[in-house]
């Protein structure tokens, strides 16, 4: 309940400060989200970039929505869902490898080191079998805006018998465990799963 209240307040206050909600509407929206809203959604995806954590074929993810994306909500090591930098109507799942202020050094001596700027992050595919030049991640498209992250993958259904929590940073796993207890419905995941 505390997570739902925090999510609802953060999202509603953001809309209130932008002038989209007045004070009376703010209270109504907070209560509605608190009583009826969900903090998670289902995301279907495929691709070998995140194998073996997520299946190389179709999989269904339970994703935690993130109302504000900053270093209080996402951590290095998290599997995040983000807008594809080249096709903004599509979404990718990648591992968060570095946050703003991190120095990025290439194994290629011809490339100059650089520091990630404010509100930038670096995401990578984790399949070790894919060569870095072939991976569709920050090594290909560069740093990503933190604003492009929409959620954190917290549970993965690869097949009807192969499913479980997604391994994320220790902080994220601690934050997400109460959500899994309340919002995880494996039967709902299986219905949405396209196998």
Q: What is the pLDDT of residues 13-30, one digit of tens each?
A: 766 677 777 777 777 666
Give me 162's structure tokens: 């192969």
What mean pLDDT, rounded, does the chain reach?
84
> Which residues are catalytic, by number?
49, 94
DSSP state letter for 30: H
Among residues 12, 94, 109, which one has the least CA distance to residue 49? 94
| Contact assessment for residue 123 and residue 144, using Cβ atoms and an 8 Å cutoff | yes
Per-residue pLDDT band for 2 (boundaries 50, 70, 90) equals low
Cα separation, 73 vs 172, whole angstroms: 8
Tell me if the pTM is above 0.75.
yes
Supply the pLDDT for residue 192. Answer: 67
The answer to whether 62 touches 184, Cβ cutoff 8 Å, is yes
Q: What is the pLDDT of residues 32-75, one digit of tens each?
A: 666 666 778 888 877 678 887 777 667 888 999 887 787 888 99
> What is the CB-side half-sphere exposure of residue 169 using CA atoms within 13 A?
17
- Per residue in 53-62, pLDDT (tens digit) is 777 667 888 9
User: What is the DSSP secondary-structure string of 151-193?
Assistant: EEEEEEESSSSSEEE----HHHHHHHHHHHHHH--HHHHHHH-
Structure confidence at residue 195 (pLDDT): 47
């Amino acid at each position: 309940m505390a997570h739902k209240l925090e999510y609802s307040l953060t999202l509603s206050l953001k809309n209130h400060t932008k002038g989209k909600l007045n004070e009376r509407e703010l209270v109504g929206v907070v209560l509605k989200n608190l009583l009826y809203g969900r903090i998670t959604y289902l995301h279907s995806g495929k691709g070998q970039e995140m194998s073996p954590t997520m299946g190389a074929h179709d999989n269904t993810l339970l994703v935690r929505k993130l109302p504000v994306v900053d270093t209080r909500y996402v951590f290095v090591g998290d599997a995040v869902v983000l807008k594809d930098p080249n096709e903004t109507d599509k979404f990718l799942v990648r591992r968060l490898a570095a946050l703003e202020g991190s120095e990025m050094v290439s194994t290629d001596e011809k490339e100059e080191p650089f520091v990630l700027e404010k509100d930038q992050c670096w995401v990578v595919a984790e399949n070790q079998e894919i060569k870095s030049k072939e991976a569709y991640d920050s090594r290909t498209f560069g740093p990503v805006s933190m604003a492009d992250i929409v959620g954190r993958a917290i549970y993965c259904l690869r097949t009807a018998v192969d499913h479980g929590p997604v391994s994320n940073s220790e902080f994220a796993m601690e934050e997400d465990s109460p959500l899994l207890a309340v919002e995880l419905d494996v039967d709902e995941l299986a219905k949405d799963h396209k196998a």
